[in-house]
Structure 1
């Protein structure tokens, strides 16, 4: 395993551990800010899902603005409430559920009428749990038994006994988030000495004619099993805005204008929706949702089994996602440390979001905040480290590249970057070769010493480098006080010979001016000579595995080198072959400046036969070129 793979493995493991820590702390009741985020995302998911048609099981009889306007006061007198219940009972509902607190005594005859009306059909009336604090925490002590997580009320606000004798009792409290939106309804409530069923559960049990069976993460109503959350709460999701559940006005009931189909064999919930009332909550669809509609939603979920699923298995799935999500994202970001990994990480994130929404639309409420919190810190931290490391590497490679530029021509560097196999096999092609060499430098260096000799060589090499780059040539090597310049790599061009001729002329001019400017204190016969030739070469890489350099070999290279001797023997600065002159064309720089003499045949040392050459001398008159 390489060091990079080990670092990636450690990063992935740390991301997974962080994700598990976030999930574990949140499951113990910590990190409450995540609940606020989850509530906001549930609202967004609910709105994106849109309105749903509820199962047609419940009818709400609303004590609304119309009935209040008709009767002229609110709360309604018990006699009016009794008449409403009697009118509903005559149409034979399955259950009458009165979502009103009947805790105060009214007129004796009115109370008696209401009690009598409640006894006609199966009925449930509301009670309320009174908590010592505005918010109620859930105990997590395991030694308190299976009821430890129930909401612990200080006392119950129960209806009057005369009403309770004729109807069942259910607690109407709901559980809201920090924004006041109901997210679930507790199915059980407890005080120090008793446990009460919730209002929706009592209504549903009465409708199916069976007492509920309560288990740690579910309850059973007759043949239906309904999943609950860990604290015996029923998660709810709203079908739509207010009045999505069938709703009729109590004024219509009193006027006899209600259809029997709205009541018969249905659950009828009587509750207040009057403007200015206190029993309102916010919802994703409405700023003010009547509490009776929240209760009716819970009743429908219990009977239809279409409520959102948020049980132990879903929470375990949240934990698995919280561990895997950051680990996968960090692993993808580390994969090749390229844009591919970043794109794949984005794809995974989008797929998770889409999967989360599809699960919600299917009734499974998975957390959105916990996986994001689990992934955010590892991903941001790892990305920051990657960015920092990338900058360090960029600086390192920039420094290396700057250093390598001093040893290899930029054009060759760029070509090798595009084609690492460039000249892996030798290539035969035409090219122009220019050699330049200082004469008399060896004897001068003995007199100057190593430091001054090195300074002179650096100045000379700088001149050669400048002129070679200006003409598009590549210096294949500096050979002490000389250099070889190649024109034709990385690819041959039609003007290689012309640029080589121009470079040779520029070298003669620049080196000559430099020699005049030296003003050496030690007597010397320092001069220079230049040779140039055009013809077939073999371009290749030479060297072993640890070091290679790009160069040219062949007769053309040897002739160009020997032409420097020819120039010196004839007292010229430059000797070029007739092949180079012809390949350069009529616009060759040799014709435009200096004295060009030739053609003439000459012998080349180490080569049979003669060669047609041309000799060139500068006409500037600013230096004395030794022979």
Structure 2
């Protein structure tokens, strides 16, 4: 159109330029679609981040912090089922059964929570892995998922640190009028089979083998030998191989027959350096 007619149309308040309006609508639709795509993508990223953090938090309940990053980053952090040498440790409260029978369930549950929280922190401080909680018993491994040059040494130091942690906890308990606790620990070193078990819906990591059974038996043997800690000789030998200058507080007790095993086990025992005269939870 001539310039005059264009100007008249532009100044006419009743004139609507359909092409310009269609262009504006199209631009708004494109911008809206882009914004919707950005919001949707941001939402998915936020949900993925929450899931990743939840998975990391679940891993952190069982593994030391330095292992969590490896587990979270690797699609198959545990690898195939395999056999390897690791250290296995069991620790539980002496006389817990009697305590649970004579106290309210809430008090028993709170005691378990506090005990597990303290013991798992000691395990993590020594770069160990919490494998399982069985009532008042905690099972820890050293060398999972990957072995290290000082697995046996860290297991021994962890066991001793657990006793020290309970003694420090007893000071608090006695000051508040609660009876003090005592624990018994068994630890062994040797070959185990490790790998993931279960289904895709419910997958867990398992450590099985004679080494695990012996460590559990050594923990039970503590009461018979009146010791705080019972070490298998293979654990002592492995620690000495790792560092010939390793200082050991345990003493050689010799061969001991354990339940469920034909061959005796060479045992080293360790007692508390100082008996505080605590009233043990047992009967």
Tell me, in whole angstroms, the C-alpha distance in 2 between the residues paired with 1:370 and 1:565: 79
Query: Does residue 482 of structure 1 match 2:100?
Result: no
User: 1:63 aligns to what?
Assistant: none
Tell me, in whole angstroms, the C-alpha distance in 2 between the residues paired with 1:378 and 1:526: 65
User: 1:606 aligns to what?
Assistant: 260
SS of 2:250's equivalent in the other structure is strand
For each residue in 1:460-508, what CA deviation from the matched residue of structure 2 results, as whole angstroms up to 9, or x when unmatched? 0011111010000001101111111011112111111111111111011
Tell me, in whole angstroms, the C-alpha distance in 2 between the residues paired with 1:413 and 1:406: 6
User: 1:189 aligns to what?
Assistant: none
Choose the corresponding residue for 1:532, options 169, 178, 187.
187
Choose the corresponding residue for 1:618, options 259, 266, 272.
272
TM superposition shift of 1:625: 8.3
Structure with higher helix content: 2
Query: Does residue 468 of structure 1 match 2:123?
Result: yes
User: What runs of 5+ residues in structure 1 fail to find an aligned partner?
Assistant: 1-128, 139-314, 323-368
User: Structure 1 residues 601, 624: CA separation in 2 closer, same or farther (over 3 Å shift)?
Assistant: farther
Higher relative contact order (CA 8 A, sep 6+): 2
User: What runs of 5+ residues in structure 2 fail to find an aligned partner?
Assistant: 11-18
What's the Cα RMSD here?
A: 3.2
For each residue in 1:384-429, what CA deviation from the matched residue of structure 2 results, as whole angstroms up to 9, or x when unmatched? 34324533x1563255236524644255543343333344632100
SS of 1:518's equivalent in the other structure is helix
TM superposition shift of 1:379: 1.5
Tell me, in whole angstroms, the C-alpha distance in 1 between the residues paired with 2:94 and 2:32: 69
Structure whose CA Rg is larger:
1
Counting only pairs closer than 5 Å after superposition, residues 394-473 of structure 1 correspond to structure 2 as 394=48, 396-397=50-51, 400-401=54-55, 403-405=57-59, 407-409=61-63, 410=65, 413-423=68-78, 425-473=80-128
Query: Does residue 382 of structure 1 match 2:254?
Result: no
User: 2:225 aligns to what?
Assistant: 570
Counting only pairs closer than 5 Å after superposition, residues 183-202 of structure 1 correspond to structure 2 as none
Q: What number of residue pairs does the alignment pair up? A: 265
User: Structure 1 residues 130, 612: CA separation in 2 closer, same or farther (over 3 Å shift)?
Assistant: closer
Contact map agreement 1:573 1:625 (CA 8 A) in 2: no
Choose the corresponding residue for 1:557, options 170, 187, 212.
212
SS of 1:615's equivalent in the other structure is strand
Counting only pairs closer than 5 Å after superposition, residues 137-176 of structure 1 correspond to structure 2 as 137=9
SS of 1:564's equivalent in the other structure is helix
TM superposition shift of 1:622: 3.4
